[in-house]
Amino acid sequence: MLNIIKNLKSRQHDDLPAGWLRESRMPLRGYERSALAEKFSRYMDRIGGKLNAGGDLYVDAREPLLMADVAAVTLSTTDKALYPAAAFPAMPSNFFKPGRLMHLLVFGKITTAATPGNLTIDVYFGSGANATGTIIASSAAQTLVASQTNISYVIELWIRCRSTGSSGSLMCTGRAQFGTAVIAADTFLIPASAAAAVTVDTTAASIISVQTKRSGSTAETQTVQELLPFVV
């Protein structure tokens, strides 16, 4: 039992800020001594994990939780944040440690008008405000199909910390998939080529902000319906 606790501790990493949880599962069974079970329960309370009836470790999503769609964002020729900073879990200063990996999923819908032009996705490390912070990855421009309504999309990102400090670095890679009714290419990579770590100040309190822009001249909108950040 003590070895299980020790191994779990190494996997959960005590240096995670309160409330941040790992995207993992681990079978935990056979508690025969109440004293050890109580000790384990106290430890689970501390790291935020829970046990279900089958004895498996699971985790709750990090607050804030999306209980409704994020307000629709009207796109422009400059980057617009798809969700406000308040919708993203707090990332205090020095959140990232060397090797730490964040997995981020964004699901939503997009509506286009008569002349949408192209869509570009930019991923920022910063305050979460529009076009603010450091771009750590960008997609290639994707041609938008005009006059489409509420077409689903998903963006999946992995952000790995390569180094820390005022001149630390993050490596961001990922992919996006849009319904073919609105982007014929369907799935595309982020970045399209030449992925590389980008210098950022990891000592600053920041968030990962997914932002988009369009090159056309009409009022296209994007809505986030699910936002799931995990540390893995």
pLDDT tens, position by position, 145-196:
999 999 999 999 999 999 999 999 999 999 999 999 999 999 999 999 999 9
Tell me what pLDDT residue 115 has. 97
Helix (H, G, I), strand (E, B) or coil at 182: coil
Higher pLDDT, 153 or 42: 153
Is pLDDT of 76 > 60? yes
Extract the tokens encoding 157: 């990102």
- State the Cα–Cα distance between residues 98 and 110, nearest whole angstrom: 36
Is pLDDT of 1 > 70? no
Do 190 and 137 touch, CB atoms closer than 8 A?
yes
Is pLDDT of 132 > 80? yes
Do 175 and 64 touch, CB atoms closer than 8 A?
no
**Confidence category of residue 90, pLDDT binned at 50, 70, 90:** confident
Which phi and psi (to 5°) does residue 102 adopt? -105, 135
Tell me what pLDDT residue 47 has. 45
CA 18, 23, 28 angle in degrees (round to 5)? Answer: 90
